[in-house]
Amino acid sequence: MALTRREFTVASLMGVAAMSGLTVAVKAQGTKTIAVLFDGLYSEFWVAGIQIIRDDLEKRGFQIMEAISDQDDNKQFEQVRAAIAKKVDGIIIVQTDSNAVIPAIKAANAANIPMVHFNRPPAPSDAFSVAIQADNQKIAREAVLHSCKVAKESGRKHQAAILIGDLGDPNAIQRRDGFEEAVGQFPDAVEVVARVPTEWNADTAFAGLTNALQANPDISFVFTSSDFLIPQITQALKAADKWAPIGAENHVIFTGFDGFPAAYGLMNDKLMDACGVQNLFYETELAIQAILDLQAGKTVEKLLLDPGFAITQDNLEEKKEEMWGYVLWKKENAG
Amino acid sequence: MTDSHPARTPPLLEVAGLTKSFFGVRVLHGIGYSLRAGEALGLVGENGSGKSTTMNILGGVHQPDGGAMLLDSAPYAPAGPGEAIRAGIAFIHQELNLFPNLTIEENLFIDGFPRRSRLIPLIDRAAIRRRTEDLLAQVNLDLKPGTPVARLSQGERQLVEIAKALGRSPKVIIFDEPTTSLTRREVDRLFAIIARLKARGIGIIYISHALEDVMTVCDHVTVLRDGALAGGGRRQDLSVPAIIAMMVGRSIDTVFPPRTVRPRAEEALVVEDLSQPGVAEAISFSIRAGEVLGLAGLMGSGRSELARMIFGLDRFARGRISVAGRPLENPTPITAMEAGIAFLTEDRRSEGLLMGFSVAENMVLTSLPAVAGALGLVDGRKVVDTAVSMARTVHLSTEKVSDTLVKHLSGGNQQKVVIGKWLLRQPAVFILDEPTRGIDVGAKQEVYRIINQLVERGSAVLLISSEIEELIGLSDRILTLCRGELTGGFERSPGPGPGFDREAIMTAATGVAVARTRTGTRDVA
Amino acid sequence: MTAVPPVDVERARARPTGHLRLARLVLSEYFTLVLCALYLAAVYPFVPEMLTAEVAANVLSDMMPLLVVAIGQTFVLVIAGIDLSVTAIISMAAVVGASVMTGTGGYLAGSPLAVPGAILAMLLVGLAIGAINGLSVTRLNMPSFIVTLATRMFFAGAAIWYTTFHSASSSIADLPAGFTAIAEGDVLGVPVTVLIAVAVAVAAHLTLSRSRLGRHIYAVGANPKAARISGVPVARTILITFMISGACAAITSVMYVSRMQTGSPIVGENILLDVIGAVVIGGTSLFGGKGKVLWTVFGVLFLVLLDTSMKLLGASLFAIFIIKGGVILLAAMIDTLRHRLMATR
């Protein structure tokens, strides 16, 4: 019943022979290949991010090698090694874990392939790579400051709630700090009564905000550390009969972060007052430029900041073209 | 063919000259038989004699290479099982084909639930219930149609299977080993039903190894051997020994081989006051080295449970067990084995063997330390050598011990593997629970021979069997068990003759107290 | 139902000889290896890099962690159980090991015992969770699917919780160089991880095929009732297989942590289906009683080849899932076919 060793050897050799007959290798000729390795496509932010990178790279005539690690550090490491084996010209990576990515950076260093971290910086180490990051704290502060001014102009004191992200994520901490800085400047107009931890989980966020609204029925100022929670916030505010446009008696001053299409939609409908926008177009530009610069032998800073901007009801028309969410929104609502 | 009966009416089923080959190997050499409406035909033969092929041809599974079949005087050549069913051939298998998770009525109508009407695809529950009640009444089964089959006993399930067959108004019903897993009472009830079916004009084909049952049920017997007719005739003209002689091709004068040794003095196994509520009531007995102690009792009397308790498989509330003078406390199978006990279970397929494994792997399982080589690893050569020599000892049909999977062996050879596996441990006490169940005559004789060898070597044997003849033929002493209590003890009377009072044993086993003064009887304790 | 007589055994005895060679190939235990060669031939035109030394080295080192945990799983599958908790064991062992040896606040930070202490701690985590699984199955008579599903959830959560006490970020870094050398080092050109995996595989192979324990494992898997009556310590055998699976998962964890230089509480979280898939593709039965370490080696090789080619192709995540699912389904179908063939011989 068992195959003899001889038969097996013959079969294997035949396999190899078949392969060498098939050397119609479709190897990319002359064009540069960039590996784009994402952790996951959990929200529109990442979907938009990878699409903008794709579009930009294609525009420049680059080939793309794409991979998603689905929150698996080891798989991502293997993907980096595959990219190295494929001799790509650069790697744009969104890592799962800021520590676990370091062996991957070292491997890229050893192969002399530039690596750029998109939107998430790695943990400090002696390995060299460039990180692109939004200036979360500044962007959050600016957006929330606008909302605080609105609050002050209303002439009454507002009770505020903040939906905080996962505290293991430095982005979440920076956004929270930006929020606290802004509201700290307006002690007369805004009092923070609820700090809702979401752990970047939509269900947790919904339950947390619902509880906060029950405990403090007078909440009239909400900041979310990410726009991906907008559906849950909408739901919770509707249930508390607080979902009304600007000007209405029961309007809640609402500040978002990220610049999702949904955020633009709400601003357009006068349901949101301000939103901190990560400038994905600019971040992509920075990332690709960094790879080109590194290949050209130029010196590049380890951290490149996206200053981002706050989009508000005041500057909506003038700034919306720079907001990635608007660009997507426009596409969806075209015609 | 073998029928010399005066032809009152043309036979219901007439088969002549059936031949069949599989891949060039001829397995049937012109088999013929005939069956009259309202009569029962016994079909007997050893495993491999062609019984199942013959029946598979009748059931439409195989098509014959040659020969003819007439059903109701019309040519009958089913292309498939479905056609056979429609023609009125019903087959009651040894392993019943019921769904235990469904109810009786669901089982009866599984292949076609009547609808309320053509337009409404809803099952007509009322019709099913009426029909089921009617069918159950025909087999004398007083059960609600909605009872799940899982709750029924083996015998009741068989009757349900018969009811299912009756639902299709069969002309011929084939029974394949119908009594193997039934209690005596269930067997009696089955035979009554068969008599009724005969009275209704249905032809019965009855396949069984239990020749006594065949003689009870059948009007005619056809014996097959090696794919050919070996004989047969009317029941009145036949006897069990004559049938056996036809089956094995030679006459077997002594079914039970003679034994030259007498039990020794020392006690190999002593059981005292063994009790477990509802299972065993203060059971005490002992077996001497070189002695065969028979245990007679009906199904459910607690005989298997007693064996399982001694071997440490089931718990008991009270009592002491000692082997060769040493107490065996809180036995587990492992400690019981270490004490020298071996146990052949009544359910060889699900408890005795690893069916998908080779003969060698099964045989050495109980004696792995004996086949260990360097570093305590199992030595493949030793395994094979050990298994081959044991295969010879038990007269196994094959010596390809590593390549043959036990599931491909016949029942008798499988049983030899189980016995061989325990013989490797050279047990001081061997508990044999139904060692000859479902195996053919030749294999039975082998088992008897091995039992004799065991006691000649000084082992003690506790023999549990439903076949009273077997107990009488082999035992030095017989105990009867009824509802968890010992009801009698019988010593073999010296000299020629059967050695035991069959009637008395039967009476004791069915629960009637036995007078101490009776000849050949003595008190248990 | 009633009128279908049993199929004759003789029917299957001989087969037409024309298909004999193919049948023999399909039935051979090297079949999965043949599938690997076929697959390689099929994807080679699209990813010629598959046959470079670098990719071969990557395949080898990617295989090792998966192989070790899959070998542990093989033991459990052979006794007709399943161990879903292996990924949680990997995660838990990772953070416990890292917390012992990390330079920033580790229990043995800076000590020469840091690395052996951490490895010991990781193995203990594996053995302990394995023991919990095994005891729950044997003592409480629970199905292993439920038991290990529960321990999987519990320890996946516990690993994240445990990390919060030992690190400000989501993982524990700053591991000693002596530990990270496991992933990077080699002996005479052979990577240390390969040596470890080979040692585990050889030990596992000897245990399953040659030791008394191995015989007991197969017997319990094939028929626990018959095994018990044959004097096999059924409960102990089941317990040991779960502990072996736990220990193997812990060794895999050592490899991952050393490779990532980080103790992350989500490491290995997603590999469960790869582990079970690899073992089953190799030919080990989910119904117990059947399985070999060599088969698992081939199964893991097949899966890693598949994965590597997909990575090199740069296929999108969805495409990878679809293709992987398709190939696994195909392999399973071929396996079923093999069994049918085998049953008729």
- Which CATH number does the domain housing residue A52 bear? 3.40.50.2300
Q: Is A54 exposed, middle or buried (CB count within 10 Å of its CB: 0-12, 13-18, 19+)?
A: middle
- The verdict on a CB contact (< 8 Å) between C262 and A97 is yes
Q: Are residues A267 and A141 in the same domain?
A: yes
Q: Are residues A81 and A162 in the same domain?
A: no
Among candidate residues A107, A128, A149, the one where a domain is terminated: A128
Establish if A97 belongs to a structural domain.
Answer: yes
- The verdict on a CB contact (< 8 Å) between B313 and C229 is yes
Q: Are residues A149 and A234 in the same domain?
A: yes
Subunits with at least 3 CB pairs below 8 A relative to chain C?
A, B
Q: How confident is the model at residue B468 (pLDDT cuts 50, 70, 90)?
A: confident
Q: Shortest CA distance to A197 belongs to which of C164, C153, C267?
A: C164
Q: Which amino acid is it at A176?
A: R
Percent of chain A with pLDDT over 70: 91
Establish if A80 belongs to a structural domain.
Answer: yes
A-interface mutation test, from C44, C175, C273, most A Cβ less than 10 A away:
C44
Distance from CA of A86 to the nearest CA of C (A): 7
Q: Which amino acid is it at B367?
A: S
Q: Are residues A176 and A250 in the same domain?
A: yes
Distance from CA of A185 to the nearest CA of C (A): 29
Residues of chain C positioned with their CB less than 8 A from the CB of B381: none
Establish if B329 belongs to a structural domain.
Answer: yes
Which residues, 6+ apart, have CB-to-CB distance to C314 below 8 Å? A35, A64, A65, A66, A67, A86
Considering only the beta carbons, identify the residue of A74, A83, A168 that sits closest to C260: A74
Q: What rounded mean pLDDT belongs to chain A?
A: 88
A226 touches chain C (CB under 8 A): no
Q: Which residue did the predictor score with more confidence, C105 or B124?
A: C105
The reported pLDDT for the residue numbered C254 is 97
Establish if A6 belongs to a structural domain.
Answer: no
Contact B182, B152 (CB under 8 A): no
pLDDT surpassing 90 at residue A289: yes
pLDDT surpassing 50 at residue C315: yes
B positions 63-92 inside 8 Å of C (CB): 81, 84-85, 89-92
Q: Shortest CA distance to C220 belongs to which of C294, C140, C129, C134?
A: C134
Global pTM value:
0.78
Among chain B residues, the shortest Cα distance to C225 is held by: B351
CA B516 to chain CA centroid, Å, is: 33
Considering only the beta carbons, identify the residue of A3, A41, A97 that sits closest to C171: A97
- 3-class SS at C68? helix
Q: Are residues A168 and A249 in the same domain?
A: yes
If DSSP states are collapsed to H, E and C, what string results for C25-67?
Answer: HHHCCCHHHHHHHHHHHHHCCCCHHHHCHHHHHHHHHHHHHHH
Establish if A1 belongs to a structural domain.
Answer: no
Q: Which residue shows structure tokens 């000889």? A: C17
Establish if B214 belongs to a structural domain.
Answer: no
Which residues, 6+ apart, have CB-to-CB distance to C93 below 8 Å? C121, C122, C123, C125, C126, C249, C250, C253, C254
Subunits with at least 3 CB pairs below 8 A relative to chain B?
C
- The verdict on a CB contact (< 8 Å) between C226 and B350 is yes
pLDDT surpassing 50 at residue C5: no
Q: Report d(CA B138, CA B131) in Å as an integer.
A: 11
Task: Please say whether the dihedral angle defined by the alpha carbons of residues C273, C275, C278 and C280, taken in this order, is positive or negative.
Answer: negative
Considering only the beta carbons, identify the residue of A27, A74, A123 that sits closest to C256: A74
Among chain B residues, the shortest Cα distance to C3 is held by: B91
A35 touches chain C (CB under 8 A): yes
Percent of chain C with pLDDT over 90: 56
Q: Shortest CA distance to B337 belongs to which of B296, B305, B377, B365?
A: B365
Establish if B235 belongs to a structural domain.
Answer: no
Q: Report d(CA A49, CA B501) in Å as an integer.
A: 95
The reported pLDDT for the residue numbered B25 is 77
Q: Which residue did the predictor score with more confidence, B342 or B346?
A: B342
pLDDT surpassing 70 at residue B422: yes
Residues of chain B positioned with their CB less than 8 A from the CB of C13: 22-23, 25
Element (H, E) at B255: none
User: What average pLDDT does the segment C332-344 reach?
Assistant: 71
Q: Are strands B228-234 and B267-276 parallel, antiparallel or unpaired?
A: unpaired
pLDDT surpassing 60 at residue B187: yes
Q: How confident is the model at residue C23 (pLDDT cuts 50, 70, 90)?
A: low
Establish if B455 belongs to a structural domain.
Answer: yes
pLDDT surpassing 90 at residue A217: yes
Q: Are residues A194 and A74 in the same domain?
A: no
Instruction: Count structural domains, chain B.
Output: 1
- The verdict on a CB contact (< 8 Å) between A1 and C28 is yes
Establish if A287 belongs to a structural domain.
Answer: no
The reported pLDDT for the residue numbered C301 is 94
Q: Report d(CA B209, CA B198) in Å as an integer.
A: 21
Establish if B357 belongs to a structural domain.
Answer: yes
Considering only the beta carbons, identify the residue of A1, A78, A102 that sits closest to C311: A78
Establish if A230 belongs to a structural domain.
Answer: yes
- The verdict on a CB contact (< 8 Å) between C230 and B89 is no
- The verdict on a CB contact (< 8 Å) between C212 and B368 is yes
Q: How confident is the model at residue B252 (pLDDT cuts 50, 70, 90)?
A: low
Q: Report d(CA A312, CA A273) in Å as an integer.
A: 6
Q: Note the pLDDT tens digit of each residue in C74-97.
A: 999 999 999 999 999 999 999 999
- 3-class SS at C233? coil
Establish if B67 belongs to a structural domain.
Answer: no
User: What average pLDDT does the segment B128-132 reach?
Assistant: 88
Domain that holds residue A109: 33-128
Q: Are residues A68 and A153 in the same domain?
A: no
Considering only the beta carbons, identify the residue of B59, B353, B421 that sits closest to C4: B59
User: What average pLDDT does the segment A154-160 reach?
Assistant: 92
pLDDT surpassing 60 at residue C258: yes
Instruction: Count structural domains, chain A.
Output: 2
The reported pLDDT for the residue numbered C12 is 39
Residues of chain C positioned with their CB less than 8 A from the CB of A68: 316-317
Establish if B496 belongs to a structural domain.
Answer: yes
Q: Which residue did the predictor score with more confidence, B410 or A286?
A: A286
Q: How confident is the model at residue B418 (pLDDT cuts 50, 70, 90)?
A: very high
Q: Of A24-33, B58-67, C74-83, C149-158, give the lowest mean pLDDT range.
A: A24-33
Establish if A183 belongs to a structural domain.
Answer: yes
Q: Report d(CA C40, CA C46) in Å as an integer.
A: 10
What is the CATH classification number for the domain harbouring B482?
A: 3.40.50.300
Domain that holds residue B283: 267-522
Among candidate residues A128, A161, A179, the one where a domain is terminated: A128
**Which DSSP category does B378 fall into?**
B
Q: Which residue did the predictor score with more confidence, A197 or B518?
A: A197
Distance from CA of C140 to the nearest CA of A (A): 34
How large is the ipTM? 0.81
Which residues, 6+ apart, have CB-to-CB distance to C52 below 8 Å? A85
Q: Are residues A322 and A187 in the same domain?
A: yes
- The verdict on a CB contact (< 8 Å) between B313 and C230 is no
Considering only the beta carbons, identify the residue of A15, A74, A123 that sits closest to C268: A74
Q: Which residue did the predictor score with more confidence, B514 or A76?
A: A76
Distance from CA of A234 to the nearest CA of C (A): 30
- The verdict on a CB contact (< 8 Å) between A3 and C307 is no
Q: Are residues A190 and A250 in the same domain?
A: yes
pLDDT surpassing 90 at residue B92: no
Question: What are the CA-CA distances from residue B76 to residues A271, A279, B37, B165, C237 (Å)?
Answer: 84, 85, 16, 20, 56
Q: Report d(CA A6, CA C310) in Å as an integer.
A: 31
Tokens of C49: 């890099």
User: What average pLDDT does the segment B313-324 reach?
Assistant: 93
Q: Shortest CA distance to B230 belongs to which of B32, B416, B403?
A: B32
Domains within chain C, CATH numbers bracketed: 10-343 (1.10.3470)
Establish if A316 belongs to a structural domain.
Answer: yes
Q: Are residues A184 and A327 in the same domain?
A: yes
Among candidate residues A101, A128, A155, the one where a domain is terminated: A128
Q: Of A84-93, B479-488, C23-32, give the lowest mean pLDDT range.
A: C23-32
Q: Note the pLDDT tens digit of each residue in B76-87.
A: 999 888 889 889
Distance from CA of A66 to the nearest CA of C (A): 5
Q: How confident is the model at residue A188 (pLDDT cuts 50, 70, 90)?
A: very high
- 3-class SS at B522? strand
Among chain B residues, the shortest Cα distance to C206 is held by: B377
- The verdict on a CB contact (< 8 Å) between B365 and C211 is no
